[in-house]
Amino acid sequence: MPANLHFGLEGILPLTLYIGMFAAFLASVFWRPAIGLYLLVLTLPLQTGRYRLHEFFLGAQFLDILLLGTILGMMVKRQEVIPKTPWTKFFLVLAIFYYISLWEGAFFMDVPLPIWITDTRFSEWKNYVEMFLLALVVASVIKEKSEIRNLIIVMCFSVLVVNRSYISLMSERDLSHFSYEVRDAGPLGYAGVNGLAAFEAMFMSFLIGIYASIRKIPARIGILALLATCGYCLLYSFSRGGYFGLLVGMLVVGFLRMRTLLVLAVLLVIGWQILLPASVQERITMTTGDAAEGGQFDSSAQTRLVLWQDAIALFKRNPVTGTGFETYEFIGRVGPYRDTHNYYVKVLAETGIVGMILYLVLLWKLFRSASSLFYGTEDPFWQAIGLGFLALVLGAIALNFFGDRWTYQQVDGYLWALLGCVIRGLIVTGQKQVDKTQLSAVDRAVLGDGQLVACNGAPD
């Protein structure tokens, strides 16, 4: 368990969480399906914490069991498990394509066929596709605004736990100058420190969008406090990609809703050498020491270019469908590196032109869903969700130029859960519009504008 994540319960927390998994499973099946979903979302980023459950029977399937309990609960209550939306068929197409690509990769590398979770690549495919299912399940289970608020509050609490652990960890290190040794992934485990930075940048972008759209003072103060802890973690992750991702999110909200963010962004771009700590300045300028004393330049930028060139060369030999889903990390083509350090290049190398087209369509659908919810309703609540998600998505698009920030559940799991909220918002606001069009002219004349709004559900 990460440092100070246990709140004094280090000895009993793994067992408590393990028992809670089964309790939440049963409560989801026989009482309220959302219970398992809340626990899943709470623990989604806490990868190193969930590692401690692997010593227990089925502990490694913690998230799978909670999601299964939620689905079974909806089936028991005879509720719609998968909502009828344009996303459903598209997710099915993606899942099938990636599984076929998984087999292609097995033939390419001459390894056993991926038919069960004991196969590493099959497990990675399952974890990725599971996020599609999570989005649809959230859209189906979480129906009311109050439930969406609760889900976001759970996310905020989980992020606070992540940040508390990371701040405690970094407070014990010398942050006066940059060094690779000082960096740490914290509770996000194998996603790496850049994965942690991407997680912080994406959630900060979402929170900034929410902050710009609400007026309640207590909520604004709470968001600012959480943003401060996120900012500390992002700052001392020393991830240049993370900084850029947050900047994109800020610009999105600044252009669409809150102009003061544009001023803040300009100040950061112009005055970062004055405003930021010395260690962060050293990282941005790619030095490991005092430049005046002959600081050595970082070679990571040059390594990225080598990796990109190698991946492009691999793509040119397999341009249509690539080498197969999740193959690059097992080929070992450039020293010890197992990632292309650019997800778009990775998609090209592994899934070819077909995979890239599907991925770009996915990004377009995410953008369109967020913008449709933001622009398509006058309800402040749904506008806030739409704007926050739009900033998150565009920030994620920028972040993936610096590495794979897309296939790690602990990094972008909240993107998919929030997509479920956006899908629910589109269903709700779309249904209101349908209801209005179905009213006859006589009904409109009798009811009047005020009662018409009431019968379609006035905004909260």
pLDDT, one tens digit per residue, over 197-232 is 999 999 999 999 999 999 999 999 999 999 999 999
- Does the pLDDT at position 452 exceed 50? no
Kindly report the backbone phi and psi dihedral angles of residue 5, in degrees, each rounded to the nearest multiple of 5, phi listed first: -80, -20
Kindly report the backbone phi and psi dihedral angles of residue 294, in degrees, each rounded to the nearest multiple of 5, phi listed first: 80, 40
pLDDT, one tens digit per residue, over 136-180 is 999 999 999 999 999 999 999 999 999 999 999 999 899 989 988
Kindly report the backbone phi and psi dihedral angles of residue 168, in degrees, each rounded to the nearest multiple of 5, phi listed first: -65, -40
Least reliable range by pLDDT among 39-53, 69-83, 394-408, 445-459: 445-459
The percentage of residues in the chain with a pLDDT greater than 90, rounded to a whole number, is 71
Query: How many whole angstroms from its chain centre is CA 102?
Result: 23
- Does the pLDDT at position 11 exceed 70? no
Tell me the C-alpha to C-alpha distance, in Å, between residue 222 and each of 4, 233, 251, 300. 22, 17, 22, 37
Give the pair of three-digit tokens for residue 450. Answer: 């005020």
Q: Tell me the average pLDDT of the chain.
A: 88
Q: Structure pTM?
A: 0.89
Q: Which residue has the tokens 């590692």?
A: 51
Tell me how far apart the alpha carbons of residues 90 and 84 are, in angstroms, rounded to a whole number.
Answer: 12
Q: Which residue has the tokens 């004055």?
A: 274
Q: How confident is the model at residue 24 (pLDDT cuts 50, 70, 90)?
A: very high
- Does the pLDDT at position 4 exceed 50? no
Tell me how far apart the alpha carbons of residues 299 and 334 are, in angstroms, rounded to a whole number.
Answer: 14
Task: Report whether 440 contacts 157 (CB < 8 A).
Answer: no
pLDDT, one tens digit per residue, over 309-348 is 989 999 999 999 999 999 998 887 887 788 889 999 999 9
Higher pLDDT, 51 or 94: 94
pLDDT value, residue 111: 92
Give the pair of three-digit tokens for residue 312. Answer: 């492009």
Tell me how far apart the alpha carbons of residues 430 and 83 are, in angstroms, rounded to a whole number.
Answer: 14
pLDDT value, residue 335: 74
DSSP conformational letter for 297: B
What are the helix (H) ranges across 287-377?
A: 300-317, 328-331, 343-375
pLDDT value, residue 432: 62
The percentage of residues in the chain with a pLDDT greater than 70, rounded to a whole number, is 88
pLDDT value, residue 243: 96
pLDDT value, residue 305: 84
pLDDT value, residue 433: 53
Residues near 14 by beta carbon (within 8 Å), at least 6 away in sequence: 1, 52, 53, 55, 56
pLDDT value, residue 293: 43
Residues near 246 by beta carbon (within 8 Å), at least 6 away in sequence: 200, 201, 204, 205, 234, 395
- Does the pLDDT at position 255 exceed 80? yes
pLDDT value, residue 290: 45
Tell me how far apart the alpha carbons of residues 401 and 245 are, in angstroms, rounded to a whole number.
Answer: 10
pLDDT value, residue 225: 97
pLDDT value, residue 443: 39
pLDDT value, residue 260: 93
pLDDT, one tens digit per residue, over 279-315 is 999 888 874 444 444 444 456 677 888 888 989 999 9
- Does the pLDDT at position 371 exceed 70? yes
pLDDT value, residue 357: 98
Residue type, 150: N
Query: What is the DSSP track for 145-167?
Result: HHHHHHHHHHHHHHHHHHHHHHH
Q: Which residue has the tokens 């090209």?
A: 348
- Residue 82 φ/ψ region, left for φ over 0, alpha for ψ in the -120 to 50 degree band, beta for the rest: beta
Q: How confident is the model at residue 7 (pLDDT cuts 50, 70, 90)?
A: very low
Q: b/e per residue, 225-242, with b = 16+ CB within 10 A?
A: ebbebbebbbbbbbbbbb
- Does the pLDDT at position 444 exceed 90? no
Tell me the C-alpha to C-alpha distance, in Å, between residue 47 and each of 51, 146, 262, 437. 6, 28, 35, 48
Within a 10 A sphere around the Cβ of 349, how many other Cβ atoms?
29
Tell me the C-alpha to C-alpha distance, in Å, between residue 194 and each of 142, 184, 427. 31, 9, 35
Tell me how far apart the alpha carbons of residues 74 and 80 are, in angstroms, rounded to a whole number.
Answer: 7
